[in-house]
Amino acid sequence: MTSKPLATIVSGGLSKFGRLKGKYAREIFMEAAEEAFNRCLNLDPKRDIEALFIGLMGESYERQAHTGPTMVDWMNLLPLPAARIESACASSGVALRYGIYALLSGMHDVVMVGGAEKMTHRTTPEVTEFLAMGADFPFEQWNGITFPGLYALMATAHMHRYGTREEQMAMVAVKNHRNGALNPKAHMRREVTLEQAMSSRVIAWPLKLYDCSLISDGASCLILTRPELAGKFTDTPVHIIGSGQASDAIGIYERSSLTNLAASKKAGREAYKMAGVKPREIDLAEVHDCFTIAEIMAYEDLGLCRPGEGGSLLEEGVTTLEGEIPVNTSGGLKAKGHPVGATGTAQAYEVYLQLTGGAGERQVKGAETGLTHNVGGSGASAVVHIYRRG
Protein backbone atom coordinates (compact mmCIF):
# COMPACT_ATOMS: atom_id res chain seq x y z
CA MET A 1 0.00 0.00 0.00
CA THR A 2 2.92 2.35 -0.60
CA SER A 3 2.69 2.72 -4.37
CA LYS A 4 2.76 6.21 -5.86
CA PRO A 5 -0.74 7.46 -6.65
CA LEU A 6 -1.70 7.71 -10.33
CA ALA A 7 -3.97 10.68 -9.70
CA THR A 8 -5.91 12.26 -6.88
CA ILE A 9 -9.61 12.99 -6.48
CA VAL A 10 -10.08 16.45 -4.99
CA SER A 11 -13.84 16.75 -5.48
CA GLY A 12 -16.88 14.97 -6.78
CA GLY A 13 -20.54 15.43 -7.53
CA LEU A 14 -23.60 13.29 -8.05
CA SER A 15 -27.06 14.31 -9.21
CA LYS A 16 -30.14 12.78 -7.71
CA PHE A 17 -30.72 9.43 -9.42
CA GLY A 18 -34.24 8.54 -10.48
CA ARG A 19 -36.95 9.65 -12.84
CA LEU A 20 -35.89 13.24 -13.50
CA LYS A 21 -38.78 14.38 -15.61
CA GLY A 22 -38.38 17.24 -18.09
CA LYS A 23 -34.62 17.51 -17.76
CA TYR A 24 -31.99 16.99 -20.41
CA ALA A 25 -28.83 14.98 -19.65
CA ARG A 26 -26.89 18.24 -19.84
CA GLU A 27 -29.01 19.75 -17.07
CA ILE A 28 -28.62 16.65 -14.91
CA PHE A 29 -24.88 16.72 -15.46
CA MET A 30 -24.87 20.37 -14.35
CA GLU A 31 -26.34 19.26 -11.02
CA ALA A 32 -23.41 16.89 -10.48
CA ALA A 33 -20.90 19.48 -11.70
CA GLU A 34 -22.23 22.17 -9.37
CA GLU A 35 -21.83 19.89 -6.39
CA ALA A 36 -18.25 19.15 -7.40
CA PHE A 37 -17.48 22.83 -7.91
CA ASN A 38 -19.07 23.82 -4.59
CA ARG A 39 -17.26 21.12 -2.63
CA CYS A 40 -13.93 22.47 -3.77
CA LEU A 41 -13.84 26.14 -2.96
CA ASN A 42 -10.27 26.59 -4.05
CA LEU A 43 -11.17 25.46 -7.53
CA ASP A 44 -11.93 28.03 -10.20
CA PRO A 45 -13.43 25.71 -12.81
CA LYS A 46 -12.85 28.07 -15.74
CA ARG A 47 -9.22 28.69 -14.82
CA ASP A 48 -8.23 25.30 -13.44
CA ILE A 49 -9.98 22.53 -15.35
CA GLU A 50 -8.11 21.63 -18.52
CA ALA A 51 -10.08 18.77 -20.07
CA LEU A 52 -13.33 16.83 -19.67
CA PHE A 53 -13.77 13.10 -20.29
CA ILE A 54 -17.43 12.11 -20.20
CA GLY A 55 -19.10 8.73 -20.40
CA LEU A 56 -22.47 8.44 -22.09
CA MET A 57 -23.67 5.19 -23.56
CA GLY A 58 -26.50 6.01 -25.92
CA GLU A 59 -26.99 8.94 -28.24
CA SER A 60 -30.35 7.42 -29.12
CA TYR A 61 -32.08 8.38 -25.85
CA GLU A 62 -32.00 12.12 -26.53
CA ARG A 63 -30.91 11.96 -30.17
CA GLN A 64 -27.85 13.78 -28.92
CA ALA A 65 -24.28 12.78 -29.65
CA HIS A 66 -21.31 15.19 -29.35
CA THR A 67 -21.71 15.05 -25.56
CA GLY A 68 -18.29 16.56 -24.78
CA PRO A 69 -18.87 20.09 -26.09
CA THR A 70 -22.55 19.98 -25.08
CA MET A 71 -21.62 19.51 -21.44
CA VAL A 72 -18.78 22.04 -21.59
CA ASP A 73 -21.13 24.57 -23.17
CA TRP A 74 -23.76 24.07 -20.46
CA MET A 75 -21.13 24.35 -17.69
CA ASN A 76 -19.94 27.60 -19.29
CA LEU A 77 -16.41 26.21 -19.55
CA LEU A 78 -15.80 26.78 -23.27
CA PRO A 79 -13.34 26.21 -24.98
CA LEU A 80 -12.40 23.30 -22.68
CA PRO A 81 -11.43 20.22 -24.75
CA ALA A 82 -13.90 17.41 -24.14
CA ALA A 83 -15.13 14.20 -25.68
CA ARG A 84 -17.46 11.35 -25.01
CA ILE A 85 -16.19 7.90 -24.09
CA GLU A 86 -18.41 4.89 -24.76
CA SER A 87 -17.89 1.37 -23.56
CA ALA A 88 -21.55 0.46 -22.94
CA CYS A 89 -22.28 0.52 -19.17
CA ALA A 90 -18.55 0.92 -18.43
CA SER A 91 -18.40 4.26 -20.25
CA SER A 92 -17.55 6.51 -17.33
CA GLY A 93 -15.30 3.93 -15.68
CA VAL A 94 -13.22 4.21 -18.84
CA ALA A 95 -13.59 8.03 -18.79
CA LEU A 96 -12.00 7.97 -15.34
CA ARG A 97 -9.11 5.92 -16.66
CA TYR A 98 -8.62 8.34 -19.57
CA GLY A 99 -8.55 11.24 -17.12
CA ILE A 100 -5.72 9.44 -15.35
CA TYR A 101 -3.85 9.02 -18.65
CA ALA A 102 -4.27 12.74 -19.30
CA LEU A 103 -2.82 13.73 -15.93
CA LEU A 104 0.05 11.23 -16.10
CA SER A 105 0.84 12.51 -19.60
CA GLY A 106 1.99 15.76 -18.10
CA MET A 107 -0.21 17.67 -20.56
CA HIS A 108 -2.76 18.60 -17.87
CA ASP A 109 -2.79 19.44 -14.15
CA VAL A 110 -6.53 19.24 -13.43
CA VAL A 111 -9.19 17.34 -15.35
CA MET A 112 -12.85 16.53 -14.90
CA VAL A 113 -14.25 13.07 -15.55
CA GLY A 114 -17.86 12.07 -15.39
CA GLY A 115 -20.86 10.47 -16.96
CA ALA A 116 -24.54 10.96 -17.61
CA GLU A 117 -27.58 9.25 -19.05
CA LYS A 118 -31.22 10.30 -19.48
CA MET A 119 -33.31 7.16 -19.96
CA THR A 120 -36.70 7.31 -18.25
CA HIS A 121 -38.47 9.44 -20.85
CA ARG A 122 -38.23 6.45 -23.16
CA THR A 123 -40.49 3.42 -23.08
CA THR A 124 -39.13 0.19 -21.62
CA PRO A 125 -38.98 -1.50 -25.05
CA GLU A 126 -37.01 1.49 -26.37
CA VAL A 127 -34.59 1.40 -23.44
CA THR A 128 -34.19 -2.37 -23.84
CA GLU A 129 -33.41 -1.86 -27.50
CA PHE A 130 -30.91 0.97 -26.88
CA LEU A 131 -29.16 -1.00 -24.14
CA ALA A 132 -28.98 -4.04 -26.39
CA MET A 133 -26.67 -2.07 -28.70
CA GLY A 134 -23.97 -2.88 -26.12
CA ALA A 135 -24.36 -6.55 -27.11
CA ASP A 136 -23.37 -8.07 -30.42
CA PHE A 137 -25.71 -7.08 -33.27
CA PRO A 138 -25.35 -9.84 -35.86
CA PHE A 139 -25.39 -12.79 -33.47
CA GLU A 140 -27.15 -11.58 -30.32
CA GLN A 141 -29.49 -8.63 -30.96
CA TRP A 142 -30.54 -10.06 -34.32
CA ASN A 143 -31.70 -13.23 -32.57
CA GLY A 144 -33.71 -11.25 -30.07
CA ILE A 145 -31.69 -11.70 -26.92
CA THR A 146 -31.48 -8.71 -24.56
CA PHE A 147 -29.47 -8.14 -21.36
CA PRO A 148 -31.78 -9.86 -18.88
CA GLY A 149 -31.59 -12.91 -21.16
CA LEU A 150 -27.81 -12.78 -21.40
CA TYR A 151 -27.35 -12.53 -17.64
CA ALA A 152 -29.97 -15.25 -17.13
CA LEU A 153 -27.75 -17.55 -19.17
CA MET A 154 -24.87 -16.74 -16.84
CA ALA A 155 -27.07 -17.23 -13.78
CA THR A 156 -28.24 -20.67 -14.86
CA ALA A 157 -24.67 -21.68 -15.72
CA HIS A 158 -23.56 -20.54 -12.26
CA MET A 159 -26.42 -22.43 -10.60
CA HIS A 160 -25.58 -25.55 -12.58
CA ARG A 161 -21.85 -25.45 -11.93
CA TYR A 162 -21.73 -24.23 -8.35
CA GLY A 163 -25.16 -24.84 -6.92
CA THR A 164 -25.84 -21.13 -6.52
CA ARG A 165 -29.47 -20.62 -5.49
CA GLU A 166 -32.13 -18.05 -6.38
CA GLU A 167 -32.29 -17.08 -2.69
CA GLN A 168 -28.63 -16.10 -2.76
CA MET A 169 -29.24 -13.81 -5.72
CA ALA A 170 -32.22 -12.31 -3.93
CA MET A 171 -29.93 -11.61 -0.96
CA VAL A 172 -27.96 -9.22 -3.16
CA ALA A 173 -31.18 -7.29 -3.78
CA VAL A 174 -32.07 -7.25 -0.09
CA LYS A 175 -28.61 -6.01 0.89
CA ASN A 176 -28.38 -3.34 -1.79
CA HIS A 177 -31.90 -2.02 -1.21
CA ARG A 178 -31.08 -1.78 2.47
CA ASN A 179 -28.01 0.34 1.63
CA GLY A 180 -29.93 2.36 -0.95
CA ALA A 181 -32.54 3.26 1.65
CA LEU A 182 -29.73 5.10 3.48
CA ASN A 183 -28.63 7.03 0.38
CA PRO A 184 -30.59 10.27 -0.14
CA LYS A 185 -29.69 10.31 -3.83
CA ALA A 186 -30.71 6.70 -4.57
CA HIS A 187 -33.47 6.05 -7.11
CA MET A 188 -35.29 3.54 -4.85
CA ARG A 189 -34.99 4.29 -1.15
CA ARG A 190 -36.98 1.28 -0.10
CA GLU A 191 -35.96 -1.91 1.63
CA VAL A 192 -37.19 -5.19 0.22
CA THR A 193 -37.56 -8.50 1.97
CA LEU A 194 -36.23 -11.79 0.70
CA GLU A 195 -39.83 -12.90 0.21
CA GLN A 196 -40.70 -9.84 -1.87
CA ALA A 197 -37.63 -10.31 -4.02
CA MET A 198 -38.25 -14.04 -4.47
CA SER A 199 -41.89 -13.58 -5.37
CA SER A 200 -41.43 -10.70 -7.82
CA ARG A 201 -42.34 -11.46 -11.40
CA VAL A 202 -39.95 -13.37 -13.60
CA ILE A 203 -38.13 -11.26 -16.21
CA ALA A 204 -35.85 -13.95 -17.64
CA TRP A 205 -35.66 -17.01 -15.41
CA PRO A 206 -34.01 -17.25 -12.89
CA LEU A 207 -33.87 -13.44 -12.86
CA LYS A 208 -36.91 -11.76 -11.37
CA LEU A 209 -37.80 -8.09 -11.19
CA TYR A 210 -35.73 -7.55 -8.04
CA ASP A 211 -32.72 -9.21 -9.63
CA CYS A 212 -32.54 -6.40 -12.20
CA SER A 213 -31.02 -2.94 -11.77
CA LEU A 214 -33.07 0.17 -12.43
CA ILE A 215 -33.59 2.28 -15.52
CA SER A 216 -32.65 5.71 -14.18
CA ASP A 217 -31.63 9.23 -15.06
CA GLY A 218 -28.51 10.60 -13.44
CA ALA A 219 -25.04 12.06 -13.69
CA SER A 220 -21.79 11.95 -11.77
CA CYS A 221 -18.37 13.56 -11.90
CA LEU A 222 -15.00 13.86 -10.23
CA ILE A 223 -12.27 16.47 -10.28
CA LEU A 224 -8.84 14.88 -10.56
CA THR A 225 -5.41 16.42 -10.17
CA ARG A 226 -1.85 15.28 -10.21
CA PRO A 227 -1.15 14.01 -6.69
CA GLU A 228 1.43 16.69 -5.94
CA LEU A 229 -1.14 19.43 -6.63
CA ALA A 230 -3.97 18.01 -4.53
CA GLY A 231 -3.11 20.05 -1.45
CA LYS A 232 -3.96 23.21 -3.36
CA PHE A 233 -7.57 22.10 -3.71
CA THR A 234 -8.51 19.97 -0.70
CA ASP A 235 -7.57 18.75 2.75
CA THR A 236 -9.26 15.40 2.13
CA PRO A 237 -7.69 13.93 -1.01
CA VAL A 238 -8.42 10.43 -2.22
CA HIS A 239 -5.66 8.87 -4.26
CA ILE A 240 -6.22 6.51 -7.15
CA ILE A 241 -3.51 3.88 -6.79
CA GLY A 242 -4.53 1.22 -9.28
CA SER A 243 -6.27 1.08 -12.67
CA GLY A 244 -7.04 -1.92 -14.85
CA GLN A 245 -9.07 -2.31 -18.02
CA ALA A 246 -9.68 -5.29 -20.26
CA SER A 247 -11.86 -6.49 -23.13
CA ASP A 248 -13.57 -9.78 -23.79
CA ALA A 249 -15.50 -11.20 -26.74
CA ILE A 250 -18.50 -9.01 -27.59
CA GLY A 251 -20.78 -12.04 -27.85
CA ILE A 252 -21.12 -14.38 -24.91
CA TYR A 253 -21.39 -17.34 -27.32
CA GLU A 254 -17.67 -16.84 -28.02
CA ARG A 255 -16.53 -17.15 -24.41
CA SER A 256 -14.87 -20.10 -22.77
CA SER A 257 -16.88 -19.74 -19.56
CA LEU A 258 -20.29 -18.34 -18.62
CA THR A 259 -19.67 -18.42 -14.87
CA ASN A 260 -17.14 -15.61 -14.68
CA LEU A 261 -16.16 -12.50 -16.63
CA ALA A 262 -12.62 -12.78 -17.95
CA ALA A 263 -12.42 -9.00 -18.45
CA SER A 264 -13.25 -8.37 -14.78
CA LYS A 265 -10.61 -10.83 -13.65
CA LYS A 266 -7.95 -9.32 -15.90
CA ALA A 267 -8.81 -5.71 -15.01
CA GLY A 268 -8.86 -6.60 -11.31
CA ARG A 269 -5.50 -8.35 -11.40
CA GLU A 270 -3.94 -5.37 -13.16
CA ALA A 271 -5.38 -2.87 -10.69
CA TYR A 272 -4.39 -4.89 -7.61
CA LYS A 273 -0.87 -5.32 -8.92
CA MET A 274 -0.47 -1.63 -9.67
CA ALA A 275 -1.85 -0.69 -6.25
CA GLY A 276 0.13 -3.31 -4.36
CA VAL A 277 -3.08 -4.34 -2.61
CA LYS A 278 -4.59 -7.81 -2.11
CA PRO A 279 -8.33 -8.39 -2.61
CA ARG A 280 -9.14 -8.97 1.05
CA GLU A 281 -7.22 -5.83 2.04
CA ILE A 282 -9.94 -3.73 0.44
CA ASP A 283 -12.18 -2.00 3.01
CA LEU A 284 -15.16 -1.55 0.69
CA ALA A 285 -16.11 -1.94 -2.94
CA GLU A 286 -18.69 -0.73 -5.43
CA VAL A 287 -19.20 -3.53 -7.96
CA HIS A 288 -21.27 -3.73 -11.12
CA ASP A 289 -24.56 -5.29 -9.95
CA CYS A 290 -26.55 -4.73 -13.15
CA PHE A 291 -28.18 -8.04 -12.19
CA THR A 292 -27.82 -9.77 -8.84
CA ILE A 293 -25.86 -12.64 -10.41
CA ALA A 294 -23.36 -10.04 -11.64
CA GLU A 295 -22.53 -9.04 -8.05
CA ILE A 296 -21.98 -12.69 -7.13
CA MET A 297 -19.66 -13.18 -10.10
CA ALA A 298 -17.87 -9.92 -9.21
CA TYR A 299 -17.00 -11.24 -5.74
CA GLU A 300 -15.39 -14.24 -7.37
CA ASP A 301 -13.76 -12.43 -10.31
CA LEU A 302 -12.25 -9.82 -8.00
CA GLY A 303 -10.89 -12.41 -5.58
CA LEU A 304 -13.07 -11.54 -2.58
CA CYS A 305 -13.81 -15.27 -2.49
CA ARG A 306 -13.04 -18.36 -4.54
CA PRO A 307 -14.99 -19.23 -7.71
CA GLY A 308 -18.39 -20.59 -6.76
CA GLU A 309 -18.33 -19.17 -3.24
CA GLY A 310 -20.08 -15.87 -4.00
CA GLY A 311 -23.38 -17.14 -2.68
CA SER A 312 -21.83 -18.28 0.60
CA LEU A 313 -20.08 -14.94 1.01
CA LEU A 314 -23.52 -13.32 0.97
CA GLU A 315 -24.95 -15.79 3.44
CA GLU A 316 -22.03 -15.08 5.78
CA GLY A 317 -22.83 -11.36 5.62
CA VAL A 318 -19.26 -10.47 4.64
CA THR A 319 -20.46 -7.81 2.17
CA THR A 320 -23.19 -6.13 4.22
CA LEU A 321 -22.71 -2.63 5.59
CA GLU A 322 -21.53 -4.16 8.89
CA GLY A 323 -19.50 -6.90 7.24
CA GLU A 324 -15.79 -7.26 6.68
CA ILE A 325 -15.91 -5.86 3.14
CA PRO A 326 -19.12 -3.85 2.55
CA VAL A 327 -20.10 -3.98 -1.12
CA ASN A 328 -22.33 -1.44 -2.83
CA THR A 329 -22.85 0.79 0.17
CA SER A 330 -24.46 3.31 -2.20
CA GLY A 331 -27.23 0.87 -2.99
CA GLY A 332 -25.48 -0.18 -6.17
CA LEU A 333 -26.99 -0.20 -9.63
CA LYS A 334 -29.75 -2.25 -8.04
CA ALA A 335 -31.19 0.41 -5.69
CA LYS A 336 -29.24 3.61 -6.31
CA GLY A 337 -30.07 3.19 -9.97
CA HIS A 338 -28.24 2.63 -13.25
CA PRO A 339 -28.15 5.62 -15.58
CA VAL A 340 -25.68 3.65 -17.64
CA GLY A 341 -23.21 6.34 -18.69
CA ALA A 342 -23.09 7.78 -15.17
CA THR A 343 -22.50 4.53 -13.31
CA GLY A 344 -18.70 4.24 -13.43
CA THR A 345 -17.95 7.63 -11.94
CA ALA A 346 -20.94 7.32 -9.58
CA GLN A 347 -19.22 4.26 -8.11
CA ALA A 348 -16.01 6.27 -7.72
CA TYR A 349 -18.01 9.09 -6.12
CA GLU A 350 -19.34 6.68 -3.47
CA VAL A 351 -15.85 5.43 -2.67
CA TYR A 352 -14.66 9.06 -2.54
CA LEU A 353 -17.44 9.89 -0.05
CA GLN A 354 -16.66 6.84 2.06
CA LEU A 355 -12.93 7.50 2.17
CA THR A 356 -13.48 11.14 3.14
CA GLY A 357 -16.04 10.27 5.82
CA GLY A 358 -18.91 11.89 3.94
CA ALA A 359 -21.24 8.94 3.47
CA GLY A 360 -23.66 9.84 6.27
CA GLU A 361 -25.85 7.04 7.57
CA ARG A 362 -24.14 4.46 5.40
CA GLN A 363 -20.58 5.47 6.40
CA VAL A 364 -18.13 2.60 6.78
CA LYS A 365 -16.00 3.50 9.79
CA GLY A 366 -12.29 3.83 9.27
CA ALA A 367 -12.35 2.93 5.59
CA GLU A 368 -8.96 3.53 4.01
CA THR A 369 -8.94 1.52 0.79
CA GLY A 370 -11.73 1.14 -1.75
CA LEU A 371 -12.36 -0.47 -5.12
CA THR A 372 -14.72 0.17 -8.03
CA HIS A 373 -15.64 -2.38 -10.69
CA ASN A 374 -17.52 -1.23 -13.78
CA VAL A 375 -18.63 -3.67 -16.50
CA GLY A 376 -19.72 -2.97 -20.08
CA GLY A 377 -22.50 -5.06 -21.63
CA SER A 378 -22.39 -8.73 -20.78
CA GLY A 379 -18.72 -8.39 -19.83
CA ALA A 380 -17.02 -7.40 -23.09
CA SER A 381 -15.34 -4.62 -21.17
CA ALA A 382 -14.44 -4.06 -17.54
CA VAL A 383 -12.58 -1.38 -15.61
CA VAL A 384 -11.34 -1.62 -12.04
CA HIS A 385 -9.90 1.20 -9.92
CA ILE A 386 -8.40 1.12 -6.43
CA TYR A 387 -8.42 4.12 -4.09
CA ARG A 388 -6.67 5.07 -0.89
CA ARG A 389 -7.51 7.78 1.59
CA GLY A 390 -4.89 10.55 1.34
The binding site for its own copies (CB under 8 A) comprises 24, 51, 57-60, 62-70, 72-73, 78-88, 90-91, 94, 98, 100-107, 132-138, 141, 243, 245-251, 254, 262-263, 266-267, 376-377, 380-381
Evaluate whether 258 touches 154 at the Cβ level (below 8 Å): yes
Report how far residue 266's alpha carbon sits from residue 27's, in angstroms, rounded to the nearest whole number.
Answer: 36
Evaluate whether 210 touches 332 at the Cβ level (below 8 Å): no
Report how far residue 342's alpha carbon sits from residue 120's, in angstroms, rounded to the nearest whole number.
Answer: 14
Q: Which is nearer to its own copies, 192 or 246 (CB)?
A: 246
DSSP 8-state symbol, 203: E
Evaluate whether 107 touches 212 at the Cβ level (below 8 Å): no
Torsion angles phi and psi, residue 345, rounded to 5: -80, -20
Residue 86: name the closest of 66, 112, 104 by CA.
66
Shortest Cβ 25–its own copies spacing (Å): 10
Count of C-beta atoms within a 10 Å radius of residue 69: 16
DSSP 8-state symbol, 291: B
Report how far residue 93's alpha carbon sits from residue 382's, in angstroms, rounded to the nearest whole number.
Answer: 8
Catalytic status, residue 338: yes
Shortest Cβ 199–its own copies spacing (Å): 34
Q: Which is nearer to its own copies, 68 or 337 (CB)?
A: 68
Report how far residue 196's alpha carbon sits from residue 210's, in angstroms, rounded to the nearest whole number.
Answer: 8
Evaluate whether 313 touches 319 at the Cβ level (below 8 Å): yes
Q: Which is nearer to its own copies, 1 or 107 (CB)?
A: 107
Which of the following is catalytic: 40, 89, 221, 305? 89
Whether omega for the bond prior to residue 307 falls within 30 degrees of 0, making it cis, is no
Shortest Cβ 135–its own copies spacing (Å): 7
Q: Which is nearer to its own copies, 94 or 302 (CB)?
A: 94
Burial of 124 (0-12, 13-18, 19+ CB in 10 A): exposed
DSSP 8-state symbol, 363: P
Shortest Cβ 140–its own copies spacing (Å): 10
Torsion angles phi and psi, residue 137, rounded to 5: -75, -60
Q: Which is nearer to its own copies, 66 or 232 (CB)?
A: 66
Whether omega for the bond prior to residue 79 falls within 30 degrees of 0, making it cis, is yes
Q: Which is nearer to its own copies, 94 or 364 (CB)?
A: 94
Q: Which is nearer to its own copies, 84 or 288 (CB)?
A: 84
Report how far residue 60's alpha carbon sits from residue 243's, in angstroms, rounded to the nearest whole number.
Answer: 30
Shortest Cβ 56–its own copies spacing (Å): 8
Shortest Cβ 172–its own copies spacing (Å): 25
Q: Which is nearer to its own copies, 141 or 312 (CB)?
A: 141
DSSP secondary structure string, 293-309? HHHHHHHHHTTSS-TT-
- Going from the C-alpha of 265 to that of each of 95, 297, 299, 376, 378, the distances in angstroms are 20, 10, 10, 14, 14
Which of the following is catalytic: 187, 338, 373, 385? 338
Q: In this structure, which amino acid lies at residue 11? A: S
Residues catalogued as catalytic: 89, 338
